[in-house]
Amino acid sequence: MKTIDIAKATKPLCDYAQQVGKEAVLVVKDGKPIALLSSAIGMDSESIALANSPKFANIINRSRARQSAEGGIPLAEVYQRYGIKPRTRSSAGRKNS
Domain boundaries, the chain: 1-39, 41-84
d(CA 15, CA 20): 9
Q: Contacts for 47-55 with beta carbons within 8 Å, 24 or more apart? A: none
Query: Which residues are within 8 A (CB) of 15 and not within 5 positions of it... i.e. 6 or more apart?
Result: none
Over residues 28-36, the mean pLDDT reads 95
71: left (phi over 0), alpha (psi -120 to 50) or beta: left
**Domain 1-39 coded CATH 3.40.1620:** yes
* Other residues' Cβ atoms within 10 Å of the Cβ of residue 4: 17
pLDDT tens profile 41-78: 889 999 999 988 999 999 999 999 999 999 988 899 99
Structure pTM?
0.54
Phi and psi dihedrals of 15, rounded to 5? -65, -45
